[in-house]
Amino acid sequence: MSYGMIQAAFNPLLAIFSVFIAVISSYTTLVLVERIFDGKRSRKMSWIISGTLVMGTGIFSMHFIAIIAFHVDSPMTYNVSLLFLSYLSALLSAFAAFYILYADPLTKAKIVLSGVMIGIGIILLHYIATFATHEPVQIQYQSIYFFLSIFISIVFSIISIVLFAKMKEGPHISNVNKGLVAIVLGLTISIMHFAGIKATHFPEQNHDHSLNNEIDTFTLGILLSCSTLIIMIIALFTAFHDYRALKKSKRLFNQIKESEERYRHLVELSPQPIVVHDGQEILFVNEICLKIIHATNKDELIGKSIIEFILPQYRAVVEDRIQKLQNGEQVKSMELQIMTFKASIIDVEIAGIGIRYDNKAAFQLVLRDITEQKKVKRELAEQKQRYRSLFEYNPDLVFSMNPQGHYTEFNSTVWDMLGYSKDDSLQMSYHDVVDSKYLDITNENFKKALEGKPQKYEIEIIAKNGERIPINVTNIPIIVEGMVSGVFGIAKDMSKEKAALKKIEELAYTDQLTGLPNRTWFYNYISEVVEKTKVHQQTIAILSIDFDNFKNVNDTLGHNIGDLFLRRVSERLIKCLRKHDKIARIGGDEFIIILEDVTEEEAIQLAKLILKVMNQTMNLFGHEIVVTLSIGISIHSDFKLDLESMIKQADLAMYLAKEQRKNNYQLFTKELNEKVTRRLKLERSLRKAIKQKELKLYYQPQVDIQTGKLLGIEALLRWNPSFGFVSPNEFIPIAEETGLIVQIGEWVMNEACRKIKQWEKHELLNVPISINVSVRQFRDSNFVRKVKEIISKEKINPKFLEIEITERVMFNVEESSESIKDLREFGIMVAIDDFGVGYSSLYLIANLDYDTLKIDKSLIDDLLNNERKMAILSAIIDATNNHKRIIIEGIETKEQVEVLKNFSVIGQGYFFSHPLPAKELELKVKQIGR
């Protein structure tokens, strides 16, 4: 074996062929590796392996063809093991580079690392294959070519991979672009190889051809070239057919993608909420779904568990449905409740099917918000229940009828009240139960209800047992789609109400004390009687009855006995009446009787009978009472007067009976009518008397009997209207009855106080002035206040005003005492007037606060010849203990004056002076006391 330097013999064609092999293998490899980047394909690992095989074989083949090109005249042999190792290193480097490109995600670092791995594979293959020769090899590590080979291999491999990866970012990589990258990579491999050969020195040596495990360079080059070309042809052929299949697959994929795009667009525009999930997580929702779930964007839903939006009570059912869908079964739509992001609960109807989404199995849910529908349904159900409750449990009769009036439905109250069975009732119409006399009104109202007008009316129905039941019926039209299809009926049993109404009427029209009809009944009844008698031209009589001195019974025996008295006299009155006569208690002890179709004589006979029966003694709790009464009769046949005037005539006749010694009857006559007419005239004129200045005050002196000195004056009211003087005895009662006395009394007080002010410096008239106050005026709640105001206004001394009240005021002792006390504390004097008339009581004069006691004229009439009156007078004076002023009224003779000189009293009467106007009194007082 020789050890000389192997001489190189360069063959350009082989060198070019080696470069061609490198470029073609790179192109083939890129075609195969391109399949790795297709994310829609399967069996990517097979393409990585194919690319690895082509790349490694191509580099290996290019290496040895290039060696042959440089050493064509020097046969070389190789170590097979090292050759395999070099080939394996190229394969492993290519596999690592392509696997890095395969792993997701593809980053810049991975791209660089992939290029580095390819460069390392080229370097390892070259230098390991170089050491595989059986020639002495010296690698010049310090040579620029060594470093250049490594640099070129790694940098340009990185550049190639980067260019390839960037090209793949576009929608499609063309064959031209792949060819350019393949040229760069092929030249990288070739240049690195040629640079590596430059950095390698082969010393000359003898070759030993006896080694069995050696293979010569030429043979190896031929084998590798042929095998490489075959592999590349097969790979390109396979890649070409795969490309066509891939192109078709991509076209189908794009069609599917377009279809999916359209599907998603339709889903987004769907008016129904749509959710896609994989059985666990939500993959997709449309916009309308966000609204019902109250989400702001899709990210709030996508990735969330579908189950967490389902209320707990529905989750087991939903999970079962998902399992059935996964098993390929079909499921029906269902209703459930879901929770929104606002923690509100909505009702939805869900329909689900299995689909593929992003090439994966998934489930599409179509939701329909039925919250409002469920609410309406619940409300309808509730209303139906309420209707049934109102219908079934109503205590009134509730029923429905068809347009012919036959019952179609009713509650249990109907057959409970009427006594018919349910089956019998359904065979009946209202004609079978309504009382015949009410059928016309029932038919009329039923017809109006069928016209759409609700009706309300009262009728009577007949139960199975024949009982008549009053009911209040309300008919309501049943309107369906604008048409009346029947009538609802509600009937209230009015039996209790009718009975109660009857009782109320009895209470309203019955006097509770006596059981007789009362004033209200009387006025209603007499109105009907008047109308009836007008038609039949009959005569009616009205008897007005008032019991004499009934007040004494109440005051002396008590109100309980007074009530018993009224009941007893009522019973007696009833016994006196004829069958058709009517009686009513008007109030207090006043009764009125109405006689129809009667003559004057018959009315008088009845009045006499009543007086006779009533005058019989009545025993009340041991008290023997003789009943007397006054009756006024008015008879009418022409009815020219109004009702009030007719009653008033009877009252006036009754008042006349009282004036005529009581316990008698009086018939209203022409003369009485004249009296009434005058009274009405006086009343009208009296109302204008103050304004027209027709009222005047006259003054009567009050003189000390023993000294003749003027001690006081009484102011007496006089009225002189245009039609002539009217006596106080005539107009004062009218003023009291009409209430005018309060206004007139106030005028009197003002006038009297002005006179007191006027005479306060008069030599003789500077004395108290007395004024009379009626019961009605005294009991006015503002009386005391008004007196004080007048005194303050006129600026007089209160002690010069004396107020005279009658004994009648004193009967209400507590009320009277309070007012009297108030007046006296203010400085006003109080006098009790007309003592000895009516109900005089020594108890009152002995125990009440007052200043003056005025004894009525009746006690001094015939005083000289009547010892009893003298004794009474002495007793009255003694009862006052000589602490009160005593005024004797009505003194008319000198004899009366002489007798009264035995007492310390004051005299008043015509003997001293008639009542005089103020100016005349001023002259008269100068003569008094002379």
Dist. CA 808–CA 802, nearest whole Å: 18
The span from the CA of 750 to the CA of 792, in Å, is 11
Mean pLDDT of 362-377: 84
Residue written as token pair 């039209």: 477
Helix (H, G, I), strand (E, B) or coil at 618: strand
Q: For residue 833, which of 911, 759, 773, 895 has the smallest C-alpha distance? A: 773
> Residue 711 pLDDT > 60, yes or no?
yes
CA distances from 829 to 757, 785, 818, 824 (A): 17, 16, 14, 6
Residue 568 CB burial class (10 angstroms; 0-12, 13-18, ≥19): middle
In degrees, rounded to 5, the angle at the alpha carbon of residue 745 between the alpha carbons of residues 742 and 746 is 90
| Paired residues of 137 in beta bridges | none
Q: What is the pLDDT of the chain when averaged over all its residues? A: 81
Quick one: average pLDDT of 563-568? 90
Q: What is the distance between the alpha carbons of residues 810 and 189, in angstroms, rounded to a whole number?
A: 151
Task: Please spell the DSSP secondary structure of 64-102, one letter per residue.
Answer: HHHHHHHBTTS--EEEHHHHHHHHHHHHHHHHHHHHHHH
In this predicted structure, the answer to whether residue 266 has a pLDDT above a threshold of 50 is yes
Average pLDDT over residues 691-715: 93
Give the pair of three-digit tokens for residue 102: 């395969």
74 pLDDT exceeds 70? no
- State yes or no: pLDDT of 174 exceeds 70: no
SS3 annotation, 801-852 = EEEEEEHHHHHCHHHHHHHHHHHHHHCCEEEEEEECCCCCCHHHHHHCCCCE
Total Cβ atoms within 10 A of residue 398:
20
Backbone torsions φ then ψ of 104, nearest 5 degrees: -85, 150
What does the pLDDT read at residue 32? 62
Relative to beta strand 852-855, strand 885-889 is: parallel
Helix residue ranges per DSSP H, 270-370: 287-293, 312-326
Nearest residue to 889 via CA among 854, 865, 915, 916: 854
Identity at 124, one-letter amino acid code? L
Burial classification of residue 729, based on how many CB atoms lie within 10 Å of its CB (0-12 exposed, 13-18 middle, 19 or more buried): exposed
In this model, does residue 349 exceed pLDDT 70?
A: yes
Stretch (H or E) spanning 572: helix 559-576
**What pLDDT is attached to residue 38?**
58
Lowest mean pLDDT among 208-212, 477-481, 571-575: 208-212
Contact criterion met (CB below 8 Å) for 274 and 366 = yes
Which pLDDT score is estimated for 210?
Answer: 47
Higher-confidence position of 257 and 796: 796
Backbone angles phi, psi at 705, to 5 degrees: -60, -40
**What confidence tier does 829 reach under pLDDT thresholds 50, 70, 90?**
very high
E strand residue ranges, 211-277: 214-216, 274-277
Strands 829-835, 852-855: pairing is parallel
pLDDT of 249 over the 80 cut: no
User: Terminal CA-to-CA distance of the chain, rounded, Å?
Assistant: 208
Is 800:769 a contact under the CB 8 Å cutoff?
yes
Candidates 334, 310, 308; CA nearest to 321 is 334
Looking at residue 93, what is its pLDDT?
A: 79
**β-pair partners for 696:** 718
Answer yes or no: are the C-beta atoms of 277 and 307 closer than 8 Å.
no
- Look at strands 906-908 and 483-493 and give their pairing: unpaired
CA distance 869 to 866: 6
Do residues 417 and 467 make contact, with C-beta atoms less than 8 angstroms apart? no
Is the distance from CB of 686 to CB of 734 less than 8 angstroms?
Answer: yes
Residue 35, strand partner residues: none
Bridge partners of 874? none
For residue 173, is pLDDT > 60? no
Where would I find the beta strands (DSSP E) of 481-518? 483-493
Q: Indicate whether 209 pLDDT > 70.
A: no
pLDDT band at 2 (very low <50, low <70, confident <90, very high): very low
Looking at residues 454-467, what average pLDDT do you find? 90
Query: Half-sphere exposure of residue 448, counting CA atoms within 13 Å on the CB side?
Result: 13
Euclidean distance between CA atoms 800 and 701, whole angstroms: 14
Element (H, E) at 596: strand 590-596
Higher local confidence (pLDDT), 129 or 445: 445
How would residue 224 be classed by pLDDT, with cut points 50, 70 and 90? low
**pLDDT tens digit string along 75-105?**
667 777 887 887 788 788 778 877 777 777 7
Q: Which spans in 302-370 are helix H?
A: 312-326
**Region 566-591 average pLDDT:** 91
Q: Among the listed ranges 90-99, 484-493, 628-637, 824-833, which one has the minimum average pLDDT value?
A: 90-99
**Most confident region among 133-142, 231-240, 664-673 by mean pLDDT:** 664-673
Q: Which residue has the higher pLDDT, 196 or 859?
A: 859
Look at 178-187, 556-565, 908-917 and tell me which has the smallest mean pLDDT.
Answer: 178-187
Contact at 8 Å (CB) between 592 and 577?
no
- pLDDT, mean of residues 311-319: 87
Q: What is the pLDDT of residue 329?
A: 83
Distance of alpha carbon 32 from alpha carbon 361, whole angstroms: 30
Report the distance separating Cα 347 and Cα 336, nearest Å. Answer: 6
Q: Is the pLDDT of residue 583 over 90?
A: yes
User: Are 598 and 542 contacting, i.e. CB atoms less than 8 angstroms apart?
Assistant: no
In contact, 90 and 121? CB cutoff 8 Å: yes
Band of residue 140 on the pLDDT scale cut at 50, 70, 90:
confident
Give the span between the Cα atoms of 832 and 846, in whole angstroms.
12
The first and second tokens of residue 98, run together, are 């392509």
User: Distance (Å, rounded) from C-alpha 619 to C-alpha 623?
Assistant: 5
Give CA–CA dist 182/232, Å, rounded. 14
156 or 336: whose pLDDT is higher? 336
Max CA separation in the chain (angstroms): 211
pLDDT at residue 838, rounded to an integer: 52
Specify whether the CB–CB gap between 891 and 911 falls below 8 A: yes
What is the full DSSP assignment across 382-443?
Answer: HHHHHHHHHHHS-SSEEEEE-TTSBEEEE-HHHHHHH---HHHHHT-BGGGTB-GGGHHHHH
**550-560: pLDDT as tens digits:** 877 777 788 88
The model's confidence at residue 456, banded by pLDDT at 50, 70 and 90, is: very high
Spatial contact of 771 and 749, defined as CB atoms under 8 Å apart:
yes
What distance in Å separates the CA atoms of residue 715 and residue 707, rounded to the nearest whole number? 22
Handedness of CA 199, 204, 205, 209 (dihedral sign): positive
Do the beta carbons of residue 532 and residue 595 sit within 8 Å?
no
* Measured CA angle at 850 (ends 848, 852), to 5 deg: 130
* Signed CA dihedral, 554, 559, 561, 566: sign only: positive
Distance, CA of 777 to CA of 780 (rounded, Å): 5
- Give the torsion sign (CA, 7, 13, 16, 21): negative
> How far is the CA of 189 from the CAs of 31, 62, 155, 171, in angstroms?
18, 8, 11, 29
Alpha helices (runs of H) in 170-216, residue ranges in sequence order: 175-198
By the 8 A CB rule, do 771 and 852 touch?
A: no
Q: Give the tens place of pLDDT for each residue, 396-411.
A: 888 889 999 898 888 8
From the CA atom positions of the chain, what is the Rg in Å? 70
d(C-alpha 413, C-alpha 408), whole Å: 15
- Of the candidate ranges 228-232, 284-288, 456-460, 514-518, the one whose mean pLDDT is the lowest: 228-232
The C-alpha atoms of residue 170 and residue 741 are separated, in whole angstroms, by 123
Confidence of residue 39 (pLDDT cuts 50, 70, 90): very low
Surface-to-core class of residue 854, CB atoms within 10 Å of its CB (0-12 exposed, 13-18 middle, 19+ buried): buried
* DSSP β-ladder status, 629-636 and 665-667: parallel
Nearest partner of 70 among 183, 224, 230, 221, judged by Cα:
221
Q: Per-residue pLDDT averaged across 740-751, rounded?
A: 93
